[in-house]
Amino acid sequence: MQFKPIAFKALDDKAQPIYHTNVLMCMANQFVVICSDSIPNEQERQMLLDSFAQTNKEVIEISQDQLNHFAGNMLQVFDITEKPHLIMSEQAYKSLHTAQLKSLEKYNPLLPISIPTIEALGGGSTRCMMAEIYLSPA
């Protein structure tokens, strides 16, 4: 798939390491939702943001508070006609500001799903409940 790995360290609002990138970042075809404030090292943060610019992705910033409401834990999926959709929790959706929602809606319809029990007890959100499949069409 020719991805280029970019290593960085990220911290939550209590200065604890973030265990997985899907907590702070949603990578989609034409955009990335990210809490870049969670990357304390300026060089690492800039290297990551530069890579998004090089791949022509719109960067949609979220805050630590929005990260805590699972706004980084979204996944862009494609239907049978290859139309993109953005799946997120209702909590994540409600945490986003109007400008952020408009930016996301430029690229795909938004599909908020109510999963409060999973988010409260499971420790994750919508992205954690789905897997991507990269198989060539048969």
| Domain annotation covers residue 6 | no
Domain that residue 84 falls in: 21-129
| Domain annotation covers residue 16 | no
| Domain annotation covers residue 14 | no
pLDDT digits (tens, 9 = 90+) for 68-97: 999 999 999 999 999 999 999 999 999 999
Give the total number of structural domains in the chain: 1
pLDDT digits (tens, 9 = 90+) for 23-39: 999 999 999 999 999 99
> Where are any strands of DSSP class E within 1-135?
25-27, 31-34, 58-61, 75-78, 84-89, 110-113
- Cβ–Cβ < 8 Å for 71, 90: no
How many whole angstroms separate alpha carbon 81 and alpha carbon 79? 5
| Domain annotation covers residue 8 | no
pTM check: above 0.85: yes
| Domain annotation covers residue 138 | no
